[in-house]
Amino acid sequence: MRRIAIYDATLRDGAQGEGVSFSPMDKLRFAEQLDALGIDYIEGGFPGSNPKDREFFKAVRDLPLKRIRIAAFGSTRRPSNSAANDPGLNSMIAAKPDAATIFGKTWKLHVTDVLRVRPGRSLRMIEDSVALLKSTGLEVIYDAEHFFDGYKDDPSYAVVTLLAAQAGGADVLVLCDTNGGTVTTDITRIIEEIKEQLSVPIGIHSHNDIGMAVASSVAAVETGAVHVQGTINGYGERCGNADLCSIIPTLELKLGLRTIGRAKLKRLTEFSRWVSETANIAPDARQPYVGVSAFAHKGGMHIDAVRKNERTFEHIEPKSVGNERRILISELAGRSAIVDKAKAYAKAAGKDTAEIQGLFRQLREMEHEGYQFEGAEASFELLIMKAFKKHRELFHRAGFRVITERRESGLIITEATIKVSIGEHVVHTAAEGDGPVNALDTALRKALAEVYPEIRKIHLVDYKVRVLDAREGTAARVRVLIQSTDGRRVWGTVGVSENVIDASWKALVDSVEYGLLYRKLQRRTRGT
């Protein structure tokens, strides 16, 4: 089976994406997680550019990593320096990585307008830099920056830059679509035209500016590339990088190639969501393979077909990437969808049972009020539990009060007071927050934490408010959708009311209750 090396650049290229940031501790945990997932390389950053990256390379050596290779990133020497006296190259060597990844100019436009040197001198810079790094015993990965644009501008010069890196001793020549504007047919054509002129393996590094980074990466592999660079969840500058969460399963499951292996592939969805949480970026629900909507079915005919044979509307088994099938509850789904959900709690559930008929009527009534469950399956599962008497109330919501005060200085203070009962124990507590929902959330956690300490694992990741009838103005009914996570799963809950705080409270309570019930169920399943 052909083996494809996977190179993760999330900590450097991915962190250049808008809104993405990783702390030093995040980066170390990321390295451990990638190692456990079976990724071949992790690019730790440019040790010559900032203290955070230098600290990473120092600290990562103390981690008990099993297989992943740590790569330092940098550029070829500066025109005014020799390779031996170049600060950037020396900082890479001093970082003591397993591999050094350096980029050089392929496109004459950059050689003349950015470096402002003669093309021949740029070639010497490439070869000298690679040779120096190689002489220290490092594996050297050469990133041919703007390769495809450079090739289209001047094919012969672009190839000569690769030959210069090859002459310096590069172990892999990575062809970069840095501007992300090359179509797949050009990727394959150009690789076919050049690969016989090279004696070292080829890699691919694609950006997603025309939405083709994954397709280009896969096409490059089909044309002979054996090394793929990308980022988790496609994070990166502008429109992002090639998404490894799509590339890896495509290579494994569609092309029959070896990357991280089928067993570890089952951890991909969980890892993708962990990275989203760590980066403080809301997960993309429609992300291929690992998104919560990747295997979600709403249409009644589709649901019926999938229940009979999942291959009718699913291109792979969701569990093969650690994801799960979701049957969305809506007026389009029909009773089959309710039955499918209910069987998790009552195997004898059928379309004509009293519980299902009652749930179907309740669904219609609640949707008429403005409820929507296709993004709030957790709220609907709670309804199912109650209908089949499988629900055990963990706490009872007695009431709440929210006060918002704006002081003369402009400072706004919000305080929420809540009362809940846990069995015979009544808790009456208050908390401040940035706004009414945050204050309610904080107060609820404060009230429950002593009895349910696992609530500390649950937190809100998304909050949406939808006005249902704008003609009513500020008196309009609103629907609040909340997404929460415990670091492993993501679930949605819903609340509807003419009062936005009341709608938020309903969705928030459902979110916490579902999260606690699920964690208790998991512990019982594991026997702990």
What's the rounded Cα separation, in Å, for the pair 412 and 406? 4
Place of tokens 């940035």: 434
Q: pLDDT tens digit string along 474-520? A: 567 889 999 898 877 889 999 999 899 999 999 999 999 999 987 66
What's the rounded Cα separation, in Å, for the pair 326 and 17? 30
Topology of 5-260 in CATH?
A: TIM Barrel (3.20.20)
What's the rounded Cα separation, in Å, for the pair 246 and 33? 18
What single letter denotes the amino acid at residue 8?
Answer: D
Is this model's pTM higher than 0.85 or not?
no
Whether residue 322 contacts residue 351, with contact meaning beta carbons closer than 8 Å, is answered with: no
Instruction: Note the residue count of the chain.
Output: 528
Place of tokens 């050094």: 100
Q: Among candidates 76, 67, 68, which has minimal Cα distance to 44?
A: 68
The 3-state secondary structure of 460-501, one letter per residue: EEEEEEEECCHHHHHHCCEEEEEEEECCCCEEEEEEEECCHH
What's the rounded Cα separation, in Å, for the pair 313 and 320? 16
State whether the Cα torsion 510-514-515-520 is positive or negative.
Answer: positive
Q: pLDDT tens digit string along 322-347? A: 998 877 665 545 566 677 677 776 76
Q: pLDDT tens digit string along 433-474? A: 888 989 999 999 999 998 999 898 888 888 888 888 756 665
CA atoms within 13 A on the CB side of 190: 25
Q: Among candidates 219, 237, 154, which has minimal Cα distance to 182?
A: 219
State whether the Cα torsion 31-35-39-42 is positive or negative.
Answer: positive
Residues in CB range of 474: below 8 A, 6 or more apart: none
Place of tokens 């490894």: 244
What's the rounded Cα separation, in Å, for the pair 3 and 260? 9
Q: Provide the pLDDT for residue 392.
A: 82
Beta bridge partners of residue 399, listed in sequence order: 419
Of the listed ranges 68-72, 146-150, 207-211, 340-344, the one predicted with least confidence: 340-344
Q: pLDDT tens digit string along 221-278? A: 999 999 999 999 999 999 999 999 999 999 999 999 999 999 999 999 999 988 988 8
Provide φ and ψ at 434, rounded to 5°: -70, -25
Both tokens assigned to 205: 């590094």
Confidence of residue 358 (pLDDT cuts 50, 70, 90): confident
Q: Where are the domains of the chain?
A: 5-260
Is the pLDDT confidence value at 525 over 80? Answer: no
Q: Among candidates 117, 124, 106, which has minimal Cα distance to 182?
A: 106
Confidence of residue 348 (pLDDT cuts 50, 70, 90): low
Residues of the chain with pLDDT > 70: what percent? 92
Q: Among candidates 318, 357, 313, which has minimal Cα distance to 335?
A: 357
Q: How close are the terminal C-alpha atoms of the chain, in Å?
A: 40
Residues in CB range of 526: below 8 A, 6 or more apart: none
